[in-house]
C-alpha cells in the first residue's frame, strides 16, 4: 500500500471515528442533565418509541447502507457506472420511504393507544431515512463530509436540549430535537449529492436487480436490527419502561468503545473490497490481520476498563436514581469483545469475499436465539436476562461466522492475542481498583474518574509495549515499519 493510500486510510479512520464518537460522546455529555430531568420511566418511553420507529427505518434502507457502499466502492473508478448505481439505489430508497411512511401511519393510528404524540414525532425519523446518502459517500471514502456534518448537528442538538428541555413534560420537545436533528443532518448531505449527481428514475429491470442484491442483505440487516433492539422492546413488554431506560443507559456506556472499533471496520470495509477487486489479495489479508490484532487489543482493554470505572462513571453521569446501571455494565462489557470479533469477520472478510450467505445465516440464527432467550429470561431476571440473552446470541454469531473460514485466517494467532491482551487488561483492571481504594474519599468523583481513566490507559500502554518489545518481535517490527512510513507521509 502506498504512503498516499495509508494517509488516506488514516484520515478516513480519524474522520469516521470523529463522526461516531461525536454521535455518542455529545449525548453522553447531555446525559447527566437528561437523567436529572427525566426519570428512567420517561426515558424508557423515548427509547421504546424510537426503537419501534427504527424498524421502519430498517425497512426503508433495506441494507442499502452496506450494499450501496460496496457497489459504489466497486464502481467508483467509472463515473457513469457509479452514477447509474446511485440513481438506481436512490429510486429504491425513495420507494421504500413512501411504503414505510404509510405502514407507520397505519400502525400508529390503529395499534398505538398510549404515548401516541411521541410516536407521531418519531415519524420524522422514518422520513429522514429516505434522504440518507452516507452509503454513497462512504463508498467513495469521503468520510470527512459525513464527520463534519455530524459534529455540527450533534452540537446543535445538545445546545437545543439545554435551552428547551427542563421538566418531564418536555419529553415531546426532547424527542423532536433528537429526531429533528437527524432529519437535518440527512438533508445537509443529500442536497449537495443530489445536485452534483445525475438522478433519473430507472427502469423496472434495474429496480428488480437492485432489490435482488438488497434482499440478500436485508434479511441480515433486519435480523441485526432485531438483535440490537428487540431486548429493549421485550423489556418494555415483559418488564417496564423503567427497565428499558436503565438498560438503554447501560448500553450507552458500552457502545462508546464499541463505536471506536466499528469505525475501524467501516473505514476498512470499502478499502478491503477495493483491494480484492484489483486482485491484491495478499495486501488485503495483511490489512485484515493487522486490524484484527488492533481490534482484539482495543475491545478487551475497553471491556475491562469500563468495568473498572463503572461505579464512578455512573455516579457522575447518571446520578443516584440510575445507580443500578453500574451493576449491569461489567456483565454487558463482554458483549464489546464478541461484537468486535464478529464485526471484523463480517466487514473485513465475509462481505468483501462475497460470503454474504454465512453472514446472513449467522445473524438470523443469532437473532432467533436472542428472541427465544429473551422470552424465557426477561420475565424472571429482567435486565440481567436481557444481557445474558445478548451475550449468548452474539457468541453464537461469532462461532458461526468464524468456523467456515477457520483455515483461511490465522485463527490460532488471533486466539492467542485474546489470551495475551486479556491478561494485560486484567492487570490494568486490578491496578485501577488499587488506585480507586487509595484515592476514594480524597478526590471528588470527577477527579477520581479522570484519574482512573488516565491511569488505566497508561498502565495498559506500558504493559503492551513491554509485551510487544520482549515477547513479540514480529509485531514490534510491524509497528516500527508503520511508524517509519508515517514519517514519510
- Predicted TM-score (pTM) of the model is 0.75
Phi/psi zone of residue 38: left (φ > 0), alpha (ψ -120 to 50 degrees), beta?
A: beta
Is residue 365 exposed (0-12), middle (13-18) or buried (19+ Cβ within 10 Å)? middle
Query: Per-domain residue ranges for the chain?
Result: 9-202, 241-487
Higher per-residue confidence, 212 vs 377: 377
Look at residue 77 in the predicted model and tell me its pLDDT.
Answer: 79
Residue 291's pLDDT is 84
The mean predicted confidence, pLDDT, of the chain is 86
pLDDT band at 369 (very low <50, low <70, confident <90, very high): very high
Give me the residues paired with residue 440 across strands. Answer: 443
How many residues can be counted in the chain? 489
pLDDT digits (tens, 9 = 90+) for 231-257: 888 888 887 878 888 888 888 888 877
- CA gap 150, 429 in Å, rounded: 33
Least confident span in 116-125, 166-175, 285-294, 362-371: 285-294
Measured distance CA(265)–CA(295) in Å, rounded: 9
pLDDT of res. 287: 82
The H or E element that residue 120 is part of is helix 116-128
Lookup result for grid cell 427542563 = 166
Q: List phi, psi (to 5°) of 443.
A: -115, 160
**For residues 432 and 147, which has the higher predicted lDDT (pLDDT)?**
432
- Rounded distance between C-alpha atoms, residue 243 and residue 235, angstroms: 6
Identify which of 147, 152, 133, 156 has the alpha carbon closest to the alpha carbon of residue 68: 133
Residue 155 CB neighbours (<10 A)? 13
Q: Percent of the chain, pLDDT > 90?
A: 43
Sign of CA dihedral 133, 138, 144, 146: positive
For the segment 134-186, what is each residue's pLDDT rounded down to a tens digit?
Answer: 889 888 878 778 778 878 888 899 999 999 999 999 999 999 999 999 999 99
Residue 443, strand partner residues: 440
What's the pLDDT score for residue 7? 44
- d(Cα 315, Cα 440) in Å, to the nearest integer? 13
Q: What are phi and psi for residue 176, nearest 5 degrees?
A: -60, -40
For residues 99 and 73, is the Cβ–Cβ distance under 8 A?
Answer: no
Amino acid at each position: 500500500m502506498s504512503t498516499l493510500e495509508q494517509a488516506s486510510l488514516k484520515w478516513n479512520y480519524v474522520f469516521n471515528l470523529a463522526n461516531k464518537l461525536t454521535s455518542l460522546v455529545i449525548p453522553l455529555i447531555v446525559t447527566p442533565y437528561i437523567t436529572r430531568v427525566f426519570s428512567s420511566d420517561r426515558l424508557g418511553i423515548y427509547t421504546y418509541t424510537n426503537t419501534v420507529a427504527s424498524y421502519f427505518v430498517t425497512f426503508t434502507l433495506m441494507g442499502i447502507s452496506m450494499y450501496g457502499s460496496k457497489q459504489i466502492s466497486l464502481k467508483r473508478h467509472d463515473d457513469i457506472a457509479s452514477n447509474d448505481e446511485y440513481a438506481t439505489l436512490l429510486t429504491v430508497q425513495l420507494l421504500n420511504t413512501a411504503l414505510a411512511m404509510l405502514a407507520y401511519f397505519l400502525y400508529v393510528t390503529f395499534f398505538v393507544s398510549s404515548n401516541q404524540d411521541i410516536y407521531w414525532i418519531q415519524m420524522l425519523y422514518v422520513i429522514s431515512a429516505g434522504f440518507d446518502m452516507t452509503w454513497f459517500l462512504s463508498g467513495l471514502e469521503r468520510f470527512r463530509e459525513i464527520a463534519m456534518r455530524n459534529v455540527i448537528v450533534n452540537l446543535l442538538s445538545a445546545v437545543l436540549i439545554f435551552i428547551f428541555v427542563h421538566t418531564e413534560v418536555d419529553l415531546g420537545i426532547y424527542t423532536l430535537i433528537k429526531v429533528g436533528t437527524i432529519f437535518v443532518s440527512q438533508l445537509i448531505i443529500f442536497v449537495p449529492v443530489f445536485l452534483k449527481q445525475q438522478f433519473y428514475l430507472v427502469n423496472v429491470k434495474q429496480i428488480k436487480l437492485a432489490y435482488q442484491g438488497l434482499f440478500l442483505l436485508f434479511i441480515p440487516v433486519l435480523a441485526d436490527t432485531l438483535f440490537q433492539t428487540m431486548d429493549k422492546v421485550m423489556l418494555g413488554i415483559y418488564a417496564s419502561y423503567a427497565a428499558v431506560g436503565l438498560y438503554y443507559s447501560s448500553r450507552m456506556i458500552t457502545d462508546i468503545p464499541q463505536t471506536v472499533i466499528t469505525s475501524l471496520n467501516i473505514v476498512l470495509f470499502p478499502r478491503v473490497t477495493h483491494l480484492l477487486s484489483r486482485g491484491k489479495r495478499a495486501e488485503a489479508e495483511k490489512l485484515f490481520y493487522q486490524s484484527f490484532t488492533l481490534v482484539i487489543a482495543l475491545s478487551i482493554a475497553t471491556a475491562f476498563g469500563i468495568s473498572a470505572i463503572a461505579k464512578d462513571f455512573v455516579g457522575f453521569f447518571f446520578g443516584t436514581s440510575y445507580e443500578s446501571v453500574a451493576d449491569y455494565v461489567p456483565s454487558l462489557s463482554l458483549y464489546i469483545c464478541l461484537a468486535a470479533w464478529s464485526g471484523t469477520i463480517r466487514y473485513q472478510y465475509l462481505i468483501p469475499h462475497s460470503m454474504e450467505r454465512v453472514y446472513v445465516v449467522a445473524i438470523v440464527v443469532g437473532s432467533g436465539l436472542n428472541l427465544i432467550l429473551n422470552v424465557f429470561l426477561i420475565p424472571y431476571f429482567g435486565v440481567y436476562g436481557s444481557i445474558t440473552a445478548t451475550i449468548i446470541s452474539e457468541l453464537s454469531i461469532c462461532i458461526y461466522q468464524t468456523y467456515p473460514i477457520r483455515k483461511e485466517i490465522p485463527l490460532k494467532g488471533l486466539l492467542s492475542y485474546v489470551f495475551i491482551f486479556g491478561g494485560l487488561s486484567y492487570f490494568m483492571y486490578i491496578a485501577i481498583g488499587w488506585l480507586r481504594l487509595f484515592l476514594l474519599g480524597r478526590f471528588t468523583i470527577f477527579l477520581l474518574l479522570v484519574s482512573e481513566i488516565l491511569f488505566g490507559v497508561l498502565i495498559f500502554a506500558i504493559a503492551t509495549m513491554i509485551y510487544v518489545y520482549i515477547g513479540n518481535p514480529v509485531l514490534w517490527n510491524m509497528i516500527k515499519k508503520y511508524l517509519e512510513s508515517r514519517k514519510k507521509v
